Amino acid sequence: MADSKTELPPRDSWISVAPGQALNIDDDLLQKWNEQTRKYRELRGNILAACFGLEYSLDVALAEVFFPGLDTPTKNSQDSDVAVEENAKALKGLFDELFLKTGSLPFKFKIDLLRRLAGRIGVLQALIPPDLLRSLDEVRDLRNRFAHYPLTFEPRGSVPNQELHAQLVCRDKTLVLDQAFSDATSALFRSVTKDLEEMLLRLRPESRRI
C-alpha cells in the first residue's frame, strides 16, 4: 500500500509553488515574505506558550488531587497538625518538581492520568467539566504540531500581485492558518482555561472527601 503521508518542505517558512505556477520574488513579495515569516513565528511562540500555561494549570490540578486541601487555610493550629501539614506540603512540592515537571513526563501522560483518576474516583469525575479531557487532547495535538512541523506559504493571485497564505504542513494533514483557524484556536484555549479553573475551584472545597 502506497504511503499517502504529505512530504514535508525542506525548511520552515518556505514558499510552496505548485507545478506550472509562476512566482516572481520582487522587493514587494520579499517584504511580504519577511513580514509573514515574523508574524507566524510569533504565532507559533504564542501557541506554544499558551499550551505551556494550560499544562501548568493541569499540573496544579493533579497535585491537588494527590495532595488535597493543602492550599486551604485551616483553623487548627496544634503543633502536631502543623507539622503533618508542613510535611505534606513538602511532599507536594517534591511531587510537582520530580514527577510533574520532569521533561520525561509527556503532556499526554498527564491528561491520561487525569482520565484514569476520574474513572476510579467518582467525586473527581463529577468535578471535571464534560468537555475538558477531549479539549486537552486537542490542545496537546496542536502543541505537538506547532512544535514539530514546518510552516509554508502558498502564493495566490497573479504576478506581480501575489499574496502569501500560511499553512502548517504535517505528515497527516495540512492546517490552513486563516482567520477561522485563529478564531477556533482562541475559543479552544479560552474554553480549556475556564474549565481548568472551574475544576480546581470545585476540587479544593471537595478535596478532603476524595
pLDDT in tens, 153-205: 999 888 778 899 999 999 999 999 999 999 999 999 999 999 999 999 988 86
- Residue 88 in any domain: the answer is no
- Residue 18 in any domain: the answer is yes
- Residue 163 in any domain: the answer is yes
**Residue range 36-43: mean pLDDT, rounded:** 97
Give the whole-angstrom CA distance, residue 203 versus residue 210.
9
Q: Model-level pTM?
A: 0.83
Q: How many domains does the chain have?
A: 1
The residue segments making up the domain with residue 29 are 14-65+106-209
pLDDT tens digits, one per residue of 61-86: 998 888 887 765 555 555 555 555 67
- Per-residue pLDDT at 168: 97
- Residue 79 in any domain: the answer is no
- Residue 36 in any domain: the answer is yes
- Residue 164 in any domain: the answer is yes
Q: Which residues contact 53 (CB under 8 A, 6 or more apart)?
A: 193
CB 107 within 8 A of CB 114: no
- Residue 19 in any domain: the answer is yes
Q: Which secondary-structure segment (H or E) carries 151?
A: strand 151-156
- Residue 182 in any domain: the answer is yes
